[in-house]
Amino acid sequence: IMAGSLAVGGGVAVAQSSLPTAGSGGGSSAASAAPYLTDDAGRSLVLRGFNTASSAKSAPDGMPDFTEEDLTREHADMGTNFVRFLISWRSVEPAPGQYDQAYLDRVEDRVSWYAERGYKVMLDMHQDVYSGAITPEGNNGNGAGAIGNGAPAWATYMDGLPVAPQPRWELYYIQPGVMRAFDNFWNTTGKHPELVEHYAKAWRAVADRFADNDAVVAYDLMNEPFGGSLQGPAFEAGPLAAMYQRTTDAIREVDQDSWVCVAPQAIGVNQGVPSGLTKINDPRAGDQRIAYCPHLYPLPLDLGDGYSGLSRTLTDATITTWRASIEHVAGTVLGGVPIIIGEFGLDTTLPGARDYLDRVYDNAREMGAGVSYWSSDPGPWGPYLPDGTRTLLVDTLNKPYPRAVAGTPTEWSSAVDRLQLTMRPDPAVTAPTEIYLPQSGFPAGVKVEGADVVDWNRQSRLLTVRTPAGADTATVTVTPAA
Ligand code: IDC
């Protein structure tokens, strides 16, 4: 699934010092000390998958229009190991203080599909434009909406201010009624201190359910936070950080191990503006388990321009500034935490789409970041059209990648028929390093240099290897057997 260097093998040897340049199609990642989420065996996880799915936003039962067969197909076609699974406050807490266990049962059922296939799950408390209840239709569904979604109707206080129809969903954010709903949620109005408290306790109810579920590794506390009349650092360092801290504390009352993922304000930061988010303290005993889960949506692509010409130049500039500010927050502000790109995506029919995808996955690899692509919903943004036809996303994402590394990856590169990984082995980790190899590049046997093969399973497409004992660093190269 990793989009790696298309110049097969080229660039690998010189990769130590090579930084990405526009149009290079990647290379390999510069050595860095990026921390990773780890599995129960202590292995560093490289997470690659999808957001599943936007269709959950408006569904009365809160479930995405995504079947177990859909997951089987995704797994077979792209070898994903991760999902950012959309949940919603309106479904968790349909009435104040009442947590819908039947809803959590349905989520748990979907999680089990992923668990059976070895995936890791991040639950994403999704919202867009606060709630479906910002319009009359969504209010009938207790906040289930196609435009606004997230908060339950009972937590939506617009104080009689209007919400007029808009040509683009993002524009609803600055409608007076929506602004007021956020101002009441953050208690900027001073009238609703109870709402953030409800939110934190709703998360505690979710964490209580999934604390012992090994597949659920992370909680993304709020999709694309919006501050209403407070914007930028005044919002991020103020009520947003306070909500994150309150919610983290509530989760830790019931779950010590799952990662808590925090995101910046979406507007601006998704387009490369620096974030003013401040440190969140994890009260768990031992190392903190906070992760940073920003989104990337360069403006030219959002406006439908494609990745070519001036738009490409501007998009590249956006990626460069975005990455610097993301690495600053994760590394310095939050204290050296893992990064998961919670969302990025585009209409795959736009010019240059494949290059853009490669470019983002190259950056993610270099940053040591997990990726959940937006989204698995059928359509031109996704891997399949409604009739099941593949878009170019399938082949672009279906690349080798190291899934679970018995140590710390320091750099790696990938093309469809080659994977090279340099790592610092961790002698305390006894489980082998696990590598996904697609059918397209590895139809038969494998040739492995720099490590012993433990197992190569052509069915699951998983290769496990062990690097030589006692080495400080190891480089493993995998190519198809002649
Ligand atoms: C979009 C869906 C679209 C829906 C809209 C509003 O693709 O069908 O009408 O949400 O609910 C985000 C959001 C994510 C968006 C996505 C694409 O987190 O919910 O999905 N996007 O627009 N931020 C930037 C882009």
Rounded mean pLDDT of the chain? 93
Q: For residue 24, report the distance from its CA to the centre of ligand 1, in Å.
A: 30
Query: pLDDT, tens digit, for every residue of 270-302?
Result: 999 999 999 999 999 999 999 999 999 999 998
Q: Atom 13 of ligand 1 has which residue's CA nearest to it?
A: 128
Decide: 128 in ligand 1 pocket, CB within 6 A. yes
User: Cα(250)–Cα(202) distance, rounded to whole angstroms?
Assistant: 9
Report ipTM (2 d.p.).
0.99
- Tell me the β-bridge partners of 453: 465
User: Cα(33)–Cα(51) distance, rounded to whole angstroms?
Assistant: 27
Contact predicate 404/433, CB 8 Å: yes
Q: Atom 23 of ligand 1 has which residue's CA nearest to it?
A: 224
Cα–Cα separations (whole angstroms), residue 440 to 178, 398, 444: 48, 9, 10
Query: Is the model's pLDDT at 15 over the cut of 60?
Result: no
Q: Atom 19 of ligand 1 has which residue's CA nearest to it?
A: 128
Decide: 374 in ligand 1 pocket, CB within 6 A. yes
Contact predicate 233/199, CB 8 Å: no
Contact predicate 248/259, CB 8 Å: no
H or E, element range at 414: strand 407-415
Q: Is the peptide bond before 482 cis (omega within 30 degrees of 0)?
A: no
Query: pLDDT, tens digit, for every residue of 62-115?
Result: 999 999 999 999 999 999 999 999 999 999 999 999 999 999 999 999 999 999
Query: Is the model's pLDDT at 7 over the cut of 80?
Result: no
> pTM of the prediction?
0.94
Tell me, what's the pLDDT at 33?
53
Tell me the mean pLDDT in the region 394-420.
98
Among 202, 223, 220, 12, smallest CA distance to 96 is for 202
Among 334, 248, 237, smallest CA distance to 283 is for 248
- CA 81 to chain centroid, in Å, comes to 12
Q: For residue 54, report the distance from its CA to the centre of ligand 1, in Å.
A: 7
